[in-house]
Chains A and B, each alone.
Chain A
Amino acid sequence: MRWAPALFGLLALALWEAAVRLLGVPVYVLPGPIAIVGAFAADPVGLLQSLASTLFVTFAALAVAAVLGGAMAVAMSASRLAQAAIQPWAVALQVTPLPAIAPLIIIWIGQPFLALVVCATIVAFFPLFASTASGLASAPPELNDLFHLYGARRWQTMRLLRLPAALPYFLTGLRISGGLALVGAVVAELVAGSGGFASGLAYRILEASFRLEIPRMFAALVLLALAGIVLNYGLGAIGQAILRRRGGV
């Protein structure tokens, strides 16, 4: 059971390779897995450096989204005025498609790295913000009553009840936003093109497609997919470890 995903993946790769060879599909239309591995082997350092560049943007955006999303959710939970002020803008930010605003952000900010981080942050922000806000409101009403009965101050209720109650929600949001930050970073790199950081994996994908180096393009795509999987499982494992340390809740 544990090896089922790996075995299924290997089987799919074998079928893919066989189909490409038997049907004589040209490499510029669809390269087989062996050609993709070959493209990676031809320039592993270049592709891995590009991956590191994209991940750098991803982690920076995730950190900013975590701080901003968490802080704004706390502000919203603490004040109705803040809730009224923040919520519509947060929703507006969520529904605005990144490719539509990324060119403007890149022009306005000017500095490529910062512009990419801002774009990726916009995509990663909402799940963190929304899940933390839900978590802060998730404490049972009886516990809120209990804190009120014992004369708890607002900051005590926040620190001892709402923030601990929100932790699992925040960690779930972090896991979702991790993947979205990667997507945001890639989309921003694609939109920025040569005007961007010019070193990320998305830029390599663009570059390879212009040169019709389709196996290299696929190698970059596979690296991105693998990075997304590792990011998702890694953030999930970190979340579980944190919750396990405080008793599994």
Chain B
Amino acid sequence: MLTVSNVGRVFPGGVEALRDTSLRLAESDFIALLGPSGCGKSTLLRLIAGLDQPTSGRMIWDGRPPAPGDIGFVFQDATLLPWSTAEDNVYLPLRLRGVSRGEAVPMVHAALHRVGLTGFETARPRALSGGMRMRVSIARALVTRPRLLLMDEPFAALDEFTRHKLQADLLDVWKEAGCTVVFVTHSIYEAAFLARRIVLMTPRPGKIAREMPSSLQAAAETRLDPAYATFVADISRAMQAALTS
């Protein structure tokens, strides 16, 4: 789907956020970008989204470059329009593409249903819990049926119970939607549970240290699987080694 080829990003002022980073995203992949703060995870995500431009290297898309709606983005905060209902927030990407409300309503309701928010269409963000707001944000990202879903630490601000539930639900949504997911996190547990491939990143400057494929089942029960604990330990050791080398 996308090849990130020797990409670097130096911000004005000379801060080198990313150096010589290469990565390949395949269709229906689920990748976790894992690393401590300041290792360029979010910068790489913004470059993939086209929200920022690399100062070196190239982003090479297979086939046509992404059109508006081909990429869904979920931020760390739900970033909803506070004056709009859940339904209107999910409708937003379609509205910006000129889709009429009548045409969009079935798609909007399907997206809200997919994230378990049927019945909350007319609720405004302030009436929803943090977890529900994040679900609206995920529904908004999914409503255009994106080829690529980019998620920037979306569950970092949630409590552990809500986080576990949303992680399991995200796996179901991913399997159902079949899109490629790039998930930024600094939680080893989260990366091990969710991703099919974990990309370890190290800071100053940000770069990819190692990729680790996962053989775990993408399902809620995985959390109770002893292999999950072993994989977490493997990632921890690899991360430790990458950070000290």
Contacts and interface: CB of A to CB of B under 8 A. Distances in A.
Contacts of B178: none
A3 interface: no
25 contacts: A140-B77, A143-B79, A145-B51, A145-B75, A146-B73, A146-B92, A147-B96, A149-B50, A149-B68, A149-B73, A150-B68, A150-B69, A150-B92, A150-B97, A151-B68, A151-B96, A151-B97, A160-B96, A161-B81, A164-B81, A164-B83, A247-B82, A247-B124, A249-B83, A249-B126
B145 to A, nearest CB: 13
Contacts of A150: 68-69, 92-93, 96-97, 144
Contacts of B124: 247-249
Contacts of B165: none
Interface in A188-225: none
A43 interface: no
B49 A149 contact: yes
A24 B59 CA distance: 89
A142 B141 CA distance: 13
B73 A145 contact: yes
Given A248-B126, A249-B126, A140 B79 contact: yes
A146 B79 contact: yes
Nearest to B88: A160
Q: How large is the interface on A (under 10, 10 to 19, 20 to 34, 35 or more residues)?
A: 20 to 34
A246 interface: yes
A156 interface: yes
B95 interface: yes
B245 to A, nearest CB: 34
Contacts, number: 58
A240 to B, nearest CB: 15
Contacts of B68: 149-151
A151 to B, nearest CB: 3
Interface of B: 46, 49-51, 67-69, 71, 73, 75, 77, 79, 81-83, 85, 92-93, 95-97, 124, 126, 144
A129 B229 CA distance: 58
B126 A156 contact: no
Nearest to A147: B96
Given A145-B49, A247-B82, A247-B83, 15 more contacts: A142-B75, A145-B46, A145-B75, A148-B51, A149-B68, A150-B69, A150-B92, A150-B144, A151-B68, A156-B96, A161-B81, A164-B83, A247-B126, A248-B124, A249-B82
A160 B95 CA distance: 10
A143 B89 CA distance: 11
A151 B67 CA distance: 8
A244 B4 CA distance: 47
B83 A246 contact: yes
Interface in A150-185: 150-152, 156, 160-161, 164, 167
B93 to A, nearest CB: 5
Nearest to B85: A247
Nearest to B137: A146
B172 to A, nearest CB: 24
A231 B69 CA distance: 47
Nearest to B93: A150
Contacts of B85: 247
Contacts of B79: 140, 142-143, 146
A160 B80 CA distance: 12
Contacts of A147: 96
Nearest to A249: B82
Top-10 shortest CB links A-B:
A151-B68, A247-B124, A249-B82, A142-B79, A150-B96, A142-B75, A150-B93, A152-B96, A246-B83, A150-B68
A17 to B, nearest CB: 49
